[in-house]
Structure 1
Amino acid sequence: MESRALRLTQSQSQDFSGSRNFVIVNLINKILNSMKPQLYRHSFQIPETVKIEKKDHLVKFSGPLGHTYLNLNKMDPNGLGGIFFSREKKDLELLSPSKSFFGLFKKLIENKMRGVTRGFLIYLKIVGIGYRANLTHDTLHLKLGYSHDILYKIPPSVKLFLIDPTVICLFGLDKNQITQIAAKIRNLRRPSVYKGKGIRLINEKILLKQGKKK
């Protein structure tokens, strides 16, 4: 009886040690898997009218409206992302372990492909009595209530049109560039918070403050 009880005790201890080792191994695997960086992946289908070429740190996007570049060294100095092409060059794949960088890079690539196919438009509205704009070649002349006219030179990669003397239209392939130019023109006479006079985006709403009452 004693030997039988001893054998049962030994078999139970072996089962317990085996199950304990199994739990420990699973726990170690979970810890190791949690330490591995998650890889974010997105695949872009390249339109037939768009051609993408990668050479060193520059990615060139060409389309019906022209071409634009994406500088990988400037946007990704730490090498957090990677761009790869399929064998037929019909798909562009983006990989990155950083979620924030992945979202930014994904949006940049989408904007580049849209820019060379459709472009981007930004409208500015000039508000104020006597405030107006005039275009001479590549120079924008602005009357904004100052004692002198303000001149702003437009870069060759951006097209500027005047719908009328108080509505400015900017068109370009690079969304970041025309957004920056629109911001610079707006800063030449920011909208007044009391009367609303100045340069604003066409759909921008200005919350006016009430002036001092006499």
Structure 2
Amino acid sequence: MNTTDTYKTIDIPGEEVLFKDKNSKFFGYSFPITSEEEVKPIIDLLKKQHHAARHWCYAWQLGTENIRYRSNDDGEPSNSAGQPIYGQIQSYETTNILIIVVRYFGGVKLGVGGLINAYRTAAQLSLEASNILEKTINIKFCITFEYKNMNKVMRIIKERQLKITDQKLELDCKLFISVRKTIADEINDLFSTLYEIDIKRLEH
């Protein structure tokens, strides 16, 4: 079981990096992503920017507990590009990230070993040029109660310094809170014991 409730990611695209080997140029890029649908538009953008390049190889990983990932060699020999890029995502323990390496062929073949090294190095440089942050894995809850119980609820929220992400204050009040995974059960129990107050865990 994963006892930690933190993960590493980036919040803004990293700076462009360049690795050269035998006249071939490898431009590395890193992007924060939250869904697979974001990948293609980013690649299309880089294809416009580097329309004379030969290959746009990439790897991405999404999720904190249910991990999904993909790597793509884009015409390079099998496992010589996408996997080495993905290996760096794993090595830096990052997620919700897309790394693309754009290659301009320099006329000299690098061989599979040379390609693996070049794509791995470009991916590593792009991660080094990125601002990697540690974030917490949070569980979201909805607390429902009547307005008269507002003070009871707010007291716990203040005491435990909980983060309110949204609220609907009508006849029936709803507060949406985000809680670190490690204390989620404890917070759930705390509100569950209160009279006339309902707490429900929300799915991601």
**TM-score > 0.5 by shorter chain:** no
Work out which of the two has the higher radius of gyration on C-alpha atoms and give 1 or 2: 1
TM-score, normalised by the number of residues in structure 1: 0.29
